[in-house]
Amino acid sequence: MLSLVIKALKPLPPPSPMTEQKPPPKENFLFPRSKYWGDFSPQRLAFNANLQEFAQRVSFVCNLETGGKVEPLEAYEEIKRLWKDLKRSKANLLDGDQLNETPDEES
């Protein structure tokens, strides 16, 4: 049941740095996005979007479990799956980025 609820929630595409289009109010309420203020690279921007989506989905799962709509073990398994997805995203987007840095850039 939880996977049906989670799949029904369609996340917004990552915000484009070239445009400042605002999502519709309903989408903005369900999937709030914050601007990225860190050192810019496309990989870091994409990971930031994935991180925000992870946090939002974990919040939904926790709220469903708190409200009694989902069993605790099912909520745990869903959060564990989301965490593995985030780790995979980090490995694909950021781990290669760290190998390209020179020792002077690490601080």
DSSP string across 16-68: PTT--PPPPHHHHHHS------SS--HHHHHHHHHHHHHHHHHHHHHHHHHTT
| pLDDT at position 107 over 50 | no
Does this model's pTM top 0.95? My answer is: no
Note the pLDDT tens digit of each residue in 60-93. Answer: 999 999 999 999 999 999 999 999 999 999 999 9
Q: Which of 31, 34, 81 is nearest to 59 (CA)?
A: 31
User: How far apart (Å, rounded) are the C-alpha atoms in residues 24 and 43?
Assistant: 26
